[in-house]
Amino acid sequence: MRSKGFSLIELLIVVAIILILAAIAIPNLLRAHMAADESSAAAGVRTLVTSMVTYAGAYPGVGYAPSLTDLGPSGGDPCAPSSTSACLIDDSLASGVKSGYTFTAAGVNPVNGWNSQFLITAIPVNLNTSGVKGFCAIDELAVRYTSPSPAAILYTDCTGYSPVGN
């Protein structure tokens, strides 16, 4: 008389099949997550470019925002716009870290206290995990990328990188 249930061999075969499927699926999942982080970073840089131009129009005596936090909210509800908290971006982007990327934004080349240019960067927190592309934008308003991402992007380097396609 045969007992009911699964034999050890049958269970081992099922476990082996599950492991093979996981070995195929997990790398694809990680690549999809990295692509989503890169897309979010490019969109974040676009948002910051728009915010910098808006800030310069709203505060012509300052020019472009001196720092990323100057574009963000003041912490109050409702937000009260000022040159040190313009309420143009949300808290998560103003914090400088979002979707596996570190963001910086700053007005550069001050002339008589007026920031005539800006540099925005998005660098992956963990290269090859968060993303492989670094993103930047300067006052020419085009979002650009380089791959693999350097640890830092300078204003003069940004113009040599490839523009992000739409």
For 139-148, how does the pLDDT look when each residue is reduced to its tens digit (9 = 90+)?
999 999 999 9
As for how many domains the chain has, the answer is 1
Q: For residue 156, is it within any domain?
A: yes
pLDDT at 76: 66
Would you place residue 49 in the very low, low, confident or very high pLDDT band (cuts 50, 70, 90)?
A: very high
For residues 38-50, give the mean pLDDT. Answer: 96
Domain of 103?
A: 8-163
Q: For residue 139, is it within any domain?
A: yes
> Phi and psi at residue 38, in whole multiples of 5°?
-65, -40
Q: For residue 1, is it within any domain?
A: no
Q: For residue 127, is it within any domain?
A: yes
pLDDT exceeds 70 at position 2 = no
**Who's near 156: CB < 8 A, 6+ residues apart?**
none
Q: For residue 60, is it within any domain?
A: yes
For residues 108-134, give the mean pLDDT. Answer: 89
pLDDT exceeds 90 at position 165 = no
pLDDT exceeds 70 at position 54 = yes
Q: Output the six-digit token pair for 11.
A: 């269970």
Q: Identify whether the C-beta of residue 101 lies closer than 8 Å to the C-beta of residue 125.
A: yes
- Strand segments, DSSP code E, in the chain are 97-98, 101-111, 114-124, 134-138, 143-146, 162-163
Q: For residue 2, is it within any domain?
A: no
The proportion of the chain whose per-residue pLDDT surpasses 70, expressed as a percent, equals 97
pLDDT at 43: 95
Contacts 24+ apart (CB under 8 A), 74-83: 83/59
Q: What is the pTM of this model?
A: 0.84
